[in-house]
Each structure stands twice: as structure tokens, then as C-alpha cells.
Amino acid sequence: MAWTVEKLKEEVADEIDRISPAIVQLSDRIHTNPELSLQEFKAAKWLASELEEHEFQLERGIANLETSFRATYEIVGGPPVVALLVEYDALPGLGHACGHNVSGAASIAAAIGASKVVKKHQLNGTILAMGTPGEELAAGKVSLLQAGAFSDVDVAMMAHMFNRNISAPTFLALDALEFSFKGKPAHAAGAPHMGVNALNAITLTFDGINALRQHVRDDVRIHGIITQGGEAQNIVPARASARFYVRARERSYLNKVSEKVENCARGAGLATGAELEIRKYEPNQDELITNITLINAFRENWEHFTADICESSESLGSSDIGSVSHVIPVIHPTIAIAPVGVGLHTTEFMEASASKEAHRGLLIAAKTLAMTVIDLLAVPGLLDRVRNGGPRD
């Protein structure tokens, strides 16, 4: 019997149902064993091994990131190359409070489910599951992008977990700035005038940034921590440092804001006499551009499982997938696994990421992603429309 696209989608959903017990177990296993950015050795091994068991060809350690991988599946092969992006790092002190155990498992389930249909019907195209470590604290996708890992990719997709279903969420551009001051030690009581207080330079930097806030747009976010503040109370601090994330809706405006933030630190150095070193401790991340044609295809598939899909201009922070979206068509919808009001990076969301609702969201995400893969491989002209469809409404 000749196949139809809708028939292929039914088959891919059935394939995901067949592997769902193992995939849900894998998600929970990663949740129980949280690993920080670029230290996801267990998660990367478990995810890659699951793909390997389903006949994907594995390449590990891409872009000198030990916990990255590319898992490729092709029968006929060739374009389009559709990448399902796999995240799996956790947060310091909070574990999987961003739900990467769920989103990562959903991406590999989608890749495996789609591969079964590709094999059965000998469809043209290549399915790529790309393990992208370090989203939280290392911008791993940017390193992969710079190393050419996306050079052969036509489209990239993933779904993030959240408290609402949002088709085109807002993710801000981000700069990661570290300010390190070098002063001069002295006895803090006996001869403070002989010292140069590096910690004063840090606190003045924070004061300058706080004064700056009223003179930047509402979409700007600036937040930081002191990472070094001195050795002892009775020694004038000779070294002090702080790390900041600076964010804005567009890269062009963020560049201006980051320069202002750097000037706050420069002024603090001049005021105190401390020497300043400025360093970017993570790669720059650009804002997310959602490909409208592709997200519309995803949404049509999504509506098989829920009618509760919304639009929102609320910022969900930043993601290294934003930089990828400036090079190839990308979508990054969010799937509800927690009640409205339970935010990312909280204990409550960490608990939600191993709940029954998380398991349900995982399967919805996996099926919708896989069905969209089928669209790209089987619907004539869709890929061209995605390429030409424009990034925004």
C-alpha cells in the first residue's frame, strides 16, 4: 500500500510508544544523576548508547568537548540533514531544574522513532541526533558551531520544558563578562592607607551597574556574583573578581550595553587605583530567531496532542541555540511539564522534571518533533519553504 505523510506520522508515533518505557527510564536516570556543564559523562554515555543500539553511527568528542556526540542515521542518505539537539547538563546545587533530562530524552526518542520509519520506507534524508553539552554554563552549541559541527545541517530542532506550551519563546542574546581587579595588600587596621582595595573596585562596579539600569531598555538583564573578595578581614583585599551575565533582546543593542557595563568596571578601577582585567568567560550567545514556516509545521503536529498552545513575548533567559538560529533554520518551543508559576531553575521545577507530567511532556515532545522530521523528509517543497520562509512574522 502506498504511504501518505499522515500514515508515516502515525507510524512514527507508534514507534515512540514502543520505546517509551526505556526512554522514560533513561530520563529519570539522568535526573537522579545530575552532572554539571561539560561534566556530563554518564548522561552522554547513556544517551549515545541508546542511539547506538538503534543503529545510529556515533562520533564522540566533537569540537574538543569530551561529552559531545553526533549520532547519524541514514538509509538512502543525503539532504536534508535534520538535527535533533540533545541537552543533558544540570545546574549547580539544583540538579535538573531546567528539565534537560526530559528534553534530551525527547530528542533521542524523536530521532529513533523517525529512523524506524525512514528505514521502513527508504526515505531520502539524514537524521542527526547531536549531543550538545554545557548549555547552562559553557555555551556548548556555540563551540560546536564554531568547529563546523552544523556545516552540513539543514534544520535544527529541539523542545525545552517549561510551565506552558509556547511555540516561539523569546531567548535573549547574552555576554558573559568577568572583571578581575588587582590591588595591593596592607594591614587593614595598622596601615590601610598603604593598600589598594580590589574589593572596593568590585563593589563600585556593582554600584555603577545599578545606576546604569534606569538608562537601558526594559528587555536588558544584568546580574552577577562576586567570585573572589579577599583572604581575611584584616588584610586589604589585593585581588577580587566578579562574573556577570548581560542580556538584551538583540545582539546589536547588547553590544552597546556590554560596553557600558565594561565602562562601569573601568571607572571603578580608576576610582580605586586597582588594575582591571576584563575577560569573556563563555562564548557570546545571540538571540533566538524562530523560523516561522518550521514552527507552523511543528504546531500542526503538536495540535494532535494539545490545544493549549500560546504565544508569549516573556523572556525565558538565554540559550546557546540562539547562535545556531542565526546560521540555519531553528525551532525551540517549550512543552508544559509543571503548573503555571513554577519557574525554571527552581527546586519545584527540578521535582517536576521527574514527574508523571514530565513523562507525558517527554512523549508529546518526542512525537511532535519526529512528526516534523517526517514532514521535512516527505512533504515536497517544505524544506525550500523553511529556508525561504523568513525567520519572523
Q: Where are the domains of the chain?
A: 5-171+288-388, 173-280
Residue identified by cell 535534520 is 82
Give the per-residue pLDDT at 257.
98
List the CATH code of the domain at 173-280.
3.30.70.360
Burial (Cβ within 10 Å: 0-12, 13-18, ≥19) of residue 139: buried
Distance CA 77, CA 115 (A): 12
Query: CA nearest 12: which of 99, 93, 82, 91?
Result: 82
What type of residue is 262? E
What pLDDT is attached to residue 185?
97
CA distance linking residue 152 with residue 274, whole number of Å: 48
Task: Check for a shared fold between 5-171+288-388 and 173-280.
Answer: no
Convert the pLDDT of each residue in 327-351 to its tens digit.
999 999 999 999 999 999 999 999 9
Give me 28's grid cell: 529519570
pLDDT(392) > 50: no
The pLDDT value recorded for residue 95 is 98
Residue 390 pLDDT class (50, 70, 90 cuts): low
Distance CA 73, CA 194 (A): 67
Residue 183 has pLDDT above 50, yes or no: yes
Using pLDDT thresholds of 50, 70 and 90, give the confidence band for residue 35: very high
**How much is the pTM?**
0.92
Mean pLDDT for 175-184 is 98
Give the span between the Cα atoms of 201 and 359, in whole angstroms: 48
| Average pLDDT across the chain, whole number | 96
* % pLDDT > 90, the chain: 94
The candidate with the shortest Cα–Cα distance to 257, out of 206, 219, 313, 201, is 219
Tell me if 197 sits within 8 A of 310, measured CB to CB.
no
Whether 1 shows a pLDDT value over 70: the answer reads: no
pLDDT class of 393 with cuts at 50, 70, 90: very low
Helix, coil or strand: residue 146: helix
Q: What is the pLDDT of residue 76?
A: 82
Cell of 61: 568528542
Q: How far apart are CA 206 and CA 264, in angstroms?
A: 8
| CATH architecture under which domain 5-171+288-388 falls | 3-Layer(aba) Sandwich (3.40)
Give the integer Cα–Cα distance in Å for 202 and 165: 40
The yes-or-no verdict on residue 391 having pLDDT over 90 is no
Higher pLDDT, 79 or 225: 225
